[in-house]
Structure formats: C-alpha cells, structure tokens
Structure 1
Amino acid sequence: MAERMLQFVRLSQQTPDKRDAAERRTDFGEIYQRFSAERASEQASRCSQCGVPFCSVHCPLNQNIPDWLKLTAEGRLQEAHEVNAATNTFPEICGRVCPQDRLCEGNCVIEKGFESVTIGAVERYINDTAWEMGWVKPPTPSRELAHSVGIIGAGPAGLAAAEQLRKRGWQVTVYDRYDRVGGLMIYGIPNFKLEKEVVLRRAEQFAAGGINFVLNCAIGRDVTLDELRAKHDAVLIATGVYKARDIGGEGADLSGIVPALEYLTASNREGLGDDVPDFASGALNAAGKRVVVIGGGDTAMDCVRTAIRQGAASVTCLYRRDKANMPGSMREVKNAEEEGVTFSWLSAPEGFVGENGAVTGVRAVKMHLGLPDATGRQQVERIAGSEFTEPADLVIKALGFDPEDLPAMFGAPELAVSRWGTVQVDRRSMMTKLPGVFAAGDIVRGASLVVWGIRDGRDAADQIEKYVLAKAVTPALAAE
C-alpha cells in the first residue's frame, strides 16, 4: 500500500471551490470549480483503502473506487481513468450529477469519524483531464461482426448498451424521437449541473466509433417495432419515463401551471440556441414572476435553481414532508438555499386560485409527520385550520414521472407492462414477452438516476449478446 494513502488522519476534507452564490445565480455555468492536480491528489490520498469498500458496494456500477483513488494519489491519472472507464460509460457525467452524498460518499467508511473522501470531485477531475489529454477514444472494435441491434432511446441506458455492443463489433443503431443525443442529460438536467458540451462530445465520439443515430424518429410513427425486429437481431427499449405525474384540485386547469420537464426542456433548448416560442412568450420563463415549485426531488431542485437564474421575483418550494425526509440530494438543497430559494416544509398543495384564467396562488395546508407506514416512512397528516395561500404567477409541478403507454405508442399491444406502466421483463435475461426485444433503464425500474441507467444498459448489452449468440449456434447444434 502506498505511503500516500490513509491521509484522512491529517488532511481534512476539501470540496471543490464553489462560485459565489450572488455570481452563479446570474448565469447557467457549472457552480463547482475543478480540482487542481495537487488538490485532487491530496483528497484522493485520504482514502483508507478499506478491505470492504462500502463506496463500491453502494455504487450502482460497483466501481473500483479505492483503486482509482490510489492511482490518482500517486499521479497515475491515465491508469486511474482506464480503471474508472472500465466500469462506467460516462464517468465525467456521474462525477457531476450523481448524488454522491446518498451513494458512494454517504457510505464512505471514514465518514463516521472524519468527513468522507470527495469521490465525485476526484472522478470529475480524472475524466476532464482524460478528455483534455486525448485519452478518451471512440468505441472502435478490433473486428466487425454481422450482429445488429436496434436501440430505442438515446439516454443513459440506451447509450451505455450501444457503447458496450459497439466495442464488441456489433452494428448498432440508436433511434430517438428528439433532435439531439442524450435524453434527459440534454433536455432535463440544467447546465449549472451538467454543461451540454460534456454530453454532446460523447455523442460525437460514439458516432465517430460507428454507432448510427437516427434522430427525430418516433417508434410507432416513423417506424414500427415490428420493422425494427425484422431489421435487427435484437431490439432494446430504453425510452426512459417522460409522462409527468399530475396534481388535481380546484383550479388545476388555470394557465401558468406547467409540468417540470416542459419547463426544464424549454430552458435547456433556449440555452442551446433553439427557437422556443413558449419561452419567448413568457409561458415557460420565470423572469419577474413569483414562482412556486411543488415537489421535493432532484427535479424540483433543478426547477427552483433554474427559476432563480431566469430572474424570478421569488422562488418557493412546497414539500409535504420535512427537510430530513426529502428524496433529493441534500447538497442540491443547500445550493438552492444559498441561491435564494425559500422552502416551505410540511406544506401540501390542495388547489389553485386565479384571476382571468391565470394562476395567482397555490392553496396549501400545513402537515405533520405521523406514524411510519408499511415501508417504514412516516405518514403525513393534515393539520386542521392551517390552510394558507402561497402567491404565484408560475407554478411548476415536479411530482415525478411515469411511463408513457408504450404498447399504444409502438402499436405493440402484446408488449406486457406492469400496473404502473413499466415494461415487464424477465429479471435475469432482461427480455420482454416479445422474443428478442429487451428493455432497460427507467422504463423498467421507474424514474431513477443516470448511474442506474448506465448500469442497466451495460447489463442489457451482456444479455443481448448472450441471447443472439445462443440463437446463432442453435441450428448448428440441432444439425449435429
């Protein structure tokens, strides 16, 4: 073990410098500065190199985190990158958007007596350096194979599967209904967390490696699922989940009440230079408005922080539980508070009020936490007589996402779905009820994290390969 490790006993945790809140709230640039080489080495050296690395155990990709921390501490950055990239398709993205405080860093062994290793920041440093040095290469195979796969969806799961199969020589075509590659990494996550160039350069690299992208292509409209099945040896459904969960109540049809993804997509498209009529008209622009965001997850945090940057007059987040029970990253909540967002904890919306057809406020009631339910989570109960109205000119619903009706969209009624609308698969093979059609990512597990999409996509690639190869040798075995 290198003498440089286990430095947590003498070195305190140092996170990357953050831009001042007053400055960063005026633009969409990433808020965290990059580590210097010296700082990255020092912080990586704090790793205890423990025998059972809980950071790896709690990473959905089971990355060899202690290994690439040790290599970073020793200044062996190219090797650190190679170890990191061996298990992660998008390490430079995970270093930015993963909720490390809930995953690797939140389970760091030294965190109990000392502050955890800054794993995410070191991962970002390793891979930003790798891009600058030209160490990141397109997924070019050593030999070409005739096997063909059609992947529906150019988000994390679809792209992870595409990269894995392309490296093995497969002919890979990715179909997506949008005009850019990246899914929610492009249109859902704001620039202050993930600058779009970080995603677009991956897309360009994948294309250079021979992955074929067919964009502005909706399955069921431009091509049928049956046509894809006839064209490819296997098909992977990795569409993600885009249907916004809604909230009813009196006044829910007033103008100025919008779904989170519509709002975020408009902001991201405007930042990309697209013509966005609803942004230009003010319908999806928070400038000068009293904004209320309903929800407590990471999407809600993206919305409140976007509204701040658009110049909202005020931004309030309504969440029916308390801060400790928020599903979103505490790091993101802290950033939002620093930037001027007001949180109304234990507040549940009940309806909306308006004038001349436009929303002017959210009717809400205060809640308190009661006894745990069957899942162990405390139930929320209404406090009688605590009703209040939160003024609002723009209300953004960030209540989560559900699957769209894929059997209807794809014209494939035989595609089995669960009662929640997620695609049903065999959990071992990841194959749907349709032979040769697989599914992975949020469309199977429900709305989740980028890192879980990557994990599912890589696993799906293995299962697709196993299926196609077994199918290819079956006639020969039968002939014997």
Structure 2
Amino acid sequence: MLKFVTTPRDMPEKRPPDLRNRDFHEIYAEYADAKAREQASRCSQCGVPYCQTHCPLHNNIPDWLRLTAEGRLQEAYELSQATNTFPEICGRICPQDRLCEGNCVIEQAGHGTVTIGAVEKYITDTAWEQGWVPPIAPRRERAESVGVIGAGPGGLAAADALRRAGVQVTVYDRHDRGGGLMIYGIPGFKLGKEVVMRRMEQLEQGGVEMKLNCAVGTDISFDALRSRHDAIIIATGVYKSRELQGPGAGAVGIVRALDYLTASNRRSFGDEVPEFDSGELNAAGKRVVVIGGGDTAMDCVRTAVRQGAASVKCLYRRDRANMPGSQREVANAEEEGVTFDWLSAPRAFLGDPVNAVRVQQMRLGAPDATGRQAPEEIEGAEHDEPADMVIKALGFEPEDLPTLWGQPDLPVTRWGTIRAEFETGRTGMEGVYAVGDIVRGASLVVWAIRDGRDCADAVLGDLDAAGAALAAE
C-alpha cells in the first residue's frame, strides 16, 4: 500500500471518442488484474477514511482496496457486497468525483485520487465471472409479506434485503421491465443493460415475485395492496418532468428528456418505438439543443451524438463550476463533440416546429437561499441558436400520488414528496413506508440503495415487534 507517491493515477482505458460515439456500448475497458492491484495499492489507508464517510452507503472502501491490492478479490467482493446491494452499478454510474474520490485524502494532497469506482466495478464484474455471487437463499422462510411499489434501485434494494431475511416479497411496477431509470433512463454507454438484468434475474430466482405492467391506481388499488401485504414500501421515484416557460414552449420538436431517453433505451432492447421511427424522438441529422446541467442532460447530449445528430449543444444558466452534473461526464461529452454554452438560458422558442432557441446570456450574482450564486440576465445580451430538436432536462418532480391512488391520507410535503422518516422510511400510515426519490426528490441511485436497505431493516424490526406482541397476547 501507500504507493501513491511513486505510482500515478491511471483510469481504465477509454475507447476513442470517434469510435465510442457510434454505439451505445460502455466506454471504459476493464482493468487487467495487475492494473487493478496497482491502482488499489495507491490507497493511503487513512485513519479517518473520508472516502467512506462521504459514501452514502459508508462502504468499507479502504478495506476492499487493500484486499484487491493483495490479490484477495473474492474477499474484496464479499466486503463490498456487505454494504452495497449493487456495487457493479454504483461503480459505473456514481458521481465518484463528488463523493468518495472527490474526498480522497491523496487527491487533496495533489497526488490524484484513487480510482475507487473503477476498482469497485472490476472486483464485482470479476465476482460474477468467477461464480462468487451466491444466489439469494434465506436461512428460513417467514410468513410475512411485503409489497414494494416500484422496481427502481430503492425498491429493489429493499426487496433484496427483505428476501434474504426470508420475507415473502412482491414488487409491482408499471413498466414492462424492472430496473426503473437504470433500465429506461440511463443510457447503455454508462450502464450496460445486461448488468441490471442480471440482478433482476438474481432477485427473481431468489423468490422475489415481479408484477410488471401493473400500475397502482389503475390495474390494482392501493387499498388492495395494503390488504394483501403486511407492509407496503413506496419506491416509485419521481417521473414528472419540470416544464419550460416562455413564448413557444409548446412547439413541436420540444421534447421531455425522459421520453427521449426511454425511446432510445427501448430501441436498444429491440422494442418497436413508433415515436423514434417517426423521428419525433430521434436526433439523427438534427441540430439538437439540450437545456439543463445535470446528469440527465449529459445523458441526453451523449445519446444525441450517438444517434447521428448534426450538432449538439447544451445550455446551462450557471457556469461549469456550478453545474450539478458530474464533471467527468462533461469531459466525456466534450470529447465526443458536444458544445456547452455556459451562463445561457432559453428566453423563447421560435417556429412551430421549433427552428431556433432565443438564448439569454446570464451572469452569476449574489448567492440564493441555497448558498449558490443566483443567475441574472445580462440586459440586451441575446442570440438565436438554430435547433430542430430541443430536449428539456430540467429535473423531475413527484407525481400527485394521493390523487392518483385515491389516498388523501397519504402524507406529502409541500413539494409533493412523501413525508417519511429518512432513516426508516416510515410514513404516517400504519404499515406504509417510502424510500428513494419519492421522499428525497430527484437524487442519486446510491442514495436510493441506502434508503432501501435502511427501510428493509426498519420493516424487519417492525414485523418482529408485531409478531412478539401477537405471541404475548
């Protein structure tokens, strides 16, 4: 260990931009075994590991890095899996530059961070290849039943933990495949779909029942679910897109980011997608403008490049340093030919179908309530940006679940998210829990996994307490 002084940081090789921007395969190669050991050996084994502290799951990062450096990969995987339900997914899509790697001590000392995410991905992919990932096999079966609404990362993490404890688990999801945004929101060049489907198969083979194409409130009522199960976990995520304002915002050619990404991902599965075939959700040959600065915006611009767009430009109202998305993703997008217009916001949309965006130049003023500098318009600084397709990537909001499900007593916040205890997921309705984005608002996959695992612990505790009380009567 402690080789960071003599061994430089070295990420896995990326495929050249002019090759990777033609397909949807993952862009990073795997580490070779020797390279993984070398990079893991750069860890300084801090007495206070800030990488672990700043990981939402508090993964035992220094310990599995040491095991990797020593060639003890199976032990490294087992330690990683102990705190993370889906380490191979987090290794691919977590914004490590803002979490573990961004808080690496040797990074702060100027030696370049340990490549934590790449090593995490390597040890878990190796575990799958070597057959070190055991099937879910509870030591004993329990009679209690839990229904999980939503097959995204939070719901699946809860389902995994509950099933391992022997609980009977049924997952309900309105889509035809499980995985949530990991399947239909995140492009394959960041997260290969086979990686997610492999975990879905493990859950089903372990006894988790999947009820797909099942929309709560339409195909089955929330009350029916409550009567069927001893507990309900709501893990629907947030899917309602924030809308653009301004003249012409309803023009043909202005599309939602999630609709656009879902069409692309469905196409990769070989599904029939009429909106793609018609060109409505296909960027081929078009001048594309994406509005937003988060990870969803980065997914959109990089997808548009791969679809053969004539040009791709991203407008963001703040500067590069203040954007919420991963800086690594921005760099990848720039390598692939995306142009960024910082300190720019849409003022109006011209034509119907749209043919241009009127862009207002901005500057950063005084900090707002969150402490970030608020963008201000520069009077008279405007220009028209040609566009055949405009993609709205402004973030997501919760749907009105109390109305959709006919549950006026379901407690929500003023933002429309479900009001629940952060550490347990308990809501004000008996036996009803909530996790992930539907509680936090749009957030990271790793936080949803954390919420799902914590909630599963709370559900198990409450089921045990209920069983003990019943036995005492």
TM-score w.r.t. the length of structure 1 is: 0.97
Q: What is the aligned partner in structure 2 of residue 463 from structure 1?
A: 458
> Residue 136 of structure 1: CA displacement?
1.0
For residue 283 of structure 2, the aligned residue among 280, 283, 286 is 286
> Residue 58 of structure 1: CA displacement?
0.3
Give the direction of change, closer, same or farther, for the CA distance of 1:166–1:121 in structure 2 (3 Å limit): same
Matched, 1:320 2:320: no
Write the distance in 2 (CA, Å) between the matches of 1:428 and 1:205. 27
For residue 381 of structure 2, the aligned residue among 378, 381, 386 is 386
Matched, 1:170 2:167: yes
Q: What is the aligned partner in structure 2 of residue 10 from structure 1?
A: 6
Contact 2:149–2:172 under 8 Å retained in 1? yes
Contact 1:137–1:205 under 8 Å retained in 2? no
Q: What is the aligned partner in structure 2 of residue 244 from structure 1?
A: 241
Q: What is the aligned partner in structure 1 of residue 133 from structure 2?
A: 136
Q: What is the aligned partner in structure 2 of residue 85 from structure 1?
A: 81
Matched, 1:123 2:131: no
Structure 1: which 5+ residue stretches go unaligned? Answer: none
Q: What is the aligned partner in structure 1 of residue 258 from structure 2?
A: 261
Q: What is the aligned partner in structure 2 of residue 62 from structure 1?
A: 58
Matched, 1:202 2:199: yes
Local SS of the residue matching 1:387:
strand
Write the distance in 1 (CA, Å) between the matches of 2:423 and 2:116. 31
- 1:15-62, CA deviations, whole angstroms, 9 ceiling, x for partnerless residues? 010000011111111100110000000000000011100000000000
- 1:367-404, CA deviations, whole angstroms, 9 ceiling, x for partnerless residues? 01111223221111100110111110000000000001
Q: What is the aligned partner in structure 2 of residue 303 from structure 1?
A: 300
Local SS of the residue matching 1:385:
strand
- The answer to which of 371-380 and 430-439 deviates more is 371-380
Matched, 1:446 2:438: no
Give the direction of change, closer, same or farther, for the CA distance of 1:335–1:427 in structure 2 (3 Å limit): closer
> Residue 364 of structure 1: CA displacement?
1.4
Write the distance in 1 (CA, Å) between the matches of 2:424 and 2:22. 48
Q: What is the aligned partner in structure 2 of residue 53 from structure 1?
A: 49
- 1:312-362, CA deviations, whole angstroms, 9 ceiling, x for partnerless residues? 0000000000111110000000000000001011001111001xx300011
The one-letter amino acid of 2:181's match is L
Matched, 1:274 2:271: yes
Structure 2: which 5+ residue stretches go unaligned? Answer: none
Matched, 1:349 2:346: yes
Write the distance in 1 (CA, Å) between the matches of 2:323 and 2:423. 32
> Residue 138 of structure 1: CA displacement?
2.2
Write the distance in 2 (CA, Å) between the matches of 1:329 and 1:71. 28
- 1:420-450, CA deviations, whole angstroms, 9 ceiling, x for partnerless residues? 1100113454211210000000000000011
Write the distance in 1 (CA, Å) between the matches of 2:172 and 2:195. 21
Q: What is the aligned partner in structure 2 of residue 360 from structure 1?
A: 355
- 1:57-103, CA deviations, whole angstroms, 9 ceiling, x for partnerless residues? 00000000000000000000000000000000000000000000000
The one-letter amino acid of 1:53's match is P
Matched, 1:43 2:39: yes
Write the distance in 2 (CA, Å) between the matches of 1:171 and 1:223. 19
Aligned length: 472
Q: What is the aligned partner in structure 2 of residue 97 from structure 1?
A: 93
Local SS of the residue matching 2:381:
coil
The one-letter amino acid of 2:80's match is N
Write the distance in 1 (CA, Å) between the matches of 2:425 and 2:436. 10
Write the distance in 2 (CA, Å) between the matches of 1:430 and 1:263. 32
Write the distance in 1 (CA, Å) between the matches of 2:367 and 2:167. 50
The one-letter amino acid of 2:409's match is E
Q: What is the aligned partner in structure 1 of residue 23 from structure 2?
A: 27
TM-score w.r.t. the length of structure 2 is: 0.99
Give 4+ residue runs of structure 1 displaced > 4 Å after superposition.
none
Q: What is the aligned partner in structure 1 of residue 430 from structure 2?
A: 435
Write the distance in 2 (CA, Å) between the matches of 1:239 and 1:373. 30
The one-letter amino acid of 1:140's match is A
Write the distance in 2 (CA, Å) between the matches of 1:448 and 1:20. 30
Contact 2:106–2:112 under 8 Å retained in 1? yes
The one-letter amino acid of 2:207's match is G
Contact 1:240–1:403 under 8 Å retained in 2? yes
> Residue 137 of structure 1: CA displacement?
2.0
Write the distance in 2 (CA, Å) between the matches of 1:405 and 1:269. 26
- The answer to which of 66-75 and 460-469 deviates more is 460-469
After superposition, residues 149-228 of structure 1 pair within 5 angstroms as 149-228=146-225
The one-letter amino acid of 2:118's match is A
- 1:249-276, CA deviations, whole angstroms, 9 ceiling, x for partnerless residues? 1101110000000000000000010000
Contact 1:106–1:116 under 8 Å retained in 2? yes
> Residue 13 of structure 1: CA displacement?
0.3
Of all paired residues, the percent bearing the same amino acid is: 66
Q: What is the aligned partner in structure 1 of residue 335 from structure 2?
A: 338
Local SS of the residue matching 1:383:
strand
Q: What is the aligned partner in structure 2 of residue 398 from structure 1?
A: 393
Local SS of the residue matching 1:379:
strand
